[in-house]
Amino acid sequence: MIDRNNTPTEKAFLVGTIHHEITETIVTEHLDELEQLAVTAGAEVIGRFVQKRDRINPRYFIGKGKAEEIINQAKALGVQLIIFDDELSPSQVRNYLKLVNNIKVIDRTGLILDVFRQHARTQEAKTQVELAQLQYLLPRLTRMWTHLERQMGGIGTRAGAGETQIEVDRRLIRDHIARLRRDLKKIEKQREVQGKQRRDEFRVAIVGYTNTGKSTLMNALTGADIPVQDQLFATLDTTIRVLNLDNNHKILLSDSVGFIRKLPHTLVASFRSTLKEVLEADILLIVLEADSLVIDEQLQTVREVLMSIGAEDKEPILVMNKIDIIEDSPVLQSLKSRYPEAVFISALNHLRLDKLLERVVEIMDRSYRTATVSFDPSRWKEISSIYDQVEVLDSVYDADRVSLTIRGHHAQVSRIRALSENGSKYEN
Ligand SMILES: Nc1nc2c(ncn2[C@@H]2O[C@H](COP(=O)(O)OP(=O)(O)OP(=O)(O)O)[C@@H](O)[C@H]2O)c(=O)[nH]1
Ligand SMILES: [Mg+2]
């Protein structure tokens, strides 16, 4: 957990809007999530405003009268932060600052970036978040955000400094962005070197909305020790573990950063290297929360993010997690009919994990190939290493030739065929 003891908790108001696509129930869900984000970032939410809107007010997003009412209440209650669930343009933020200069006005994107910044632990995650945050801030630099050090603070920083520093800050930020990009390129290169050694392995990536239990599942399946918390974006890095499903089915399983509605584009772009494992996976385990009221919406979000990174064509397995919470209730039955293709599990209670792994094996088998390869006996080192990589169905050892019938992941079988002498052939 983040130690925020040295910063007094900031009081915050949340603002959501109802319009033709968003009903009051959905707004409540969205604001619940926004509140979870705000609390994670170290704020205390003391009020919510839900406003109907037919059209967006270009100056304040909501009507000016309502904007003033919120600000007056915020002043009266000592609120330092107003958080919009909808995206505000840089000029809308500036207009709020003209109305009040000692209360910060941010949107969901700004808040998500702030949570990421607080949770980043590794150098890679820190660099990625910093890049995304600076790109977000650049068009939004105002007297509220002036002075580089302070704007890097997000929640916990003060509003209302002078305006003269802005141009200097812009230049500093641009230089800094260029440096961060170079740093990330270096980190990506290192990853590529590590990745080459694993190229042929069958890869399964756990993906999904944040807080659905991805890391709990990873820990349950592999004995990894990834911190698990009832908190949004507890995980920002990728962890990879080898998992032997049986003698002939070995996979590399990965757990990584979760997704959320309106995940900032700058974040998705700068987390490219973290999400690489997802891009290179053969199967995606898409984890959903059985007790959520917005499963469809969360699945839709996950699909959109996957599409935006180019991973939409991967074989998916829907994993309905946390069934222990809804056990024996009619909800479970209705979910089963709504998502007939899903595997229903409880990662926490290790329930039905075998069913999930059976599904993985089924899909692996579909992509497996059988081939016969032959080698000169003098290449005994290569021959014996084949036994470690794939299943050997049959072997014939002659004085001048060793023939093996092998079965495994198509990438591995192809590579072994390439090493073998002429005459190797595929059987299926
Ligand atoms: N009841 C129940 N709770 C679960 C289950 N799986 C995970 N949880 C809880 O859900 C919360 C989130 O779990 P994590 O494993 O951290 O979820 P995550 O998807 O990795 O979350 P982020 O990394 O923050 O995106 C924790 O409080 C877990 O204990 C489950 O099967 N049943
Ligand atoms: Mg996690």
Q: How far is the CA of 420 from the centre of ligand 1 (A)?
A: 47
Is 321 in contact with 289 (CB distance < 8 Å)? yes
Q: Could you give the residue range(s) of every CATH 3.40.50.300 domain in the chain?
A: 199-351
CA distance 211 to 181: 29
Residue 66 is predicted with a pLDDT of 92
Cα 278 to ligand 2 centroid, rounded to whole Å: 15
Residue 316 DSSP class: E
Residues of the chain with CATH 3.40.50.11060: 10-119
What was the pLDDT predicted at 282?
94
CA distances from 141 to 86, 102, 152, 269 (A): 19, 16, 12, 21
Pocket test for ligand 1, best of 348, 349, 352, 353 (most atoms within 8 A of CB): 348
Give residue 21's pLDDT. Answer: 79
Element containing residue 216 per DSSP (H, E)? helix 214-222
Percent of the chain with pLDDT over 70: 89
Q: pLDDT at position 293, please?
A: 86
CB of 82 closer than 8 Å to CB of 34: no
Q: What is the pLDDT of residue 28?
A: 92
Class of domain 10-119: alpha beta
Residue numbers of the chain with a pLDDT score lower than 70: 1-8, 142-165, 195-199, 422-428
Instruction: Specify the pLDDT at position 405.
Output: 95
* pLDDT attached to residue 26: 86
pLDDT at res. 36: 95
Residue 298 Cβ inside 6 Å of ligand 1? The answer reads no
pLDDT in tens, 12-64: 999 999 988 788 888 999 999 999 999 999 999 999 999 888 788 899 999 99
Which amino acid is located at 400 in the chain? D
Q: How far apart are CA 382 and CA 388, in angstroms?
A: 10
Give the whole-angstrom CA distance, residue 355 versus residue 205: 17
At 170, is the secondary structure helix, strand, or coil?
helix
Nearest CA to ligand 1 atom 1: 322
Q: Which residues pair with 99 in a beta bridge?
A: none
- Residue 217 Cα to ligand 2 midpoint, Å, equals 9
According to CATH, what is the number of the domain 199-351?
Answer: 3.40.50.300
Task: Determine the distance separating the centroid of ligand 1 and the alpha carbon of 212, expressed in angstroms.
Answer: 5
Q: 400 in ligand 1 pocket by Cβ < 6 Å? A: no
**Which CATH class for the 368-426 domain?**
alpha beta
Q: What is the mean pLDDT of the chain?
A: 88
Alpha helices in 309-405 (DSSP H): 323-326, 330-338, 353-367, 380-389
Which residue ranges does the chain devote to CATH 3.30.70?
A: 368-426
What is the reported pLDDT for 153?
44
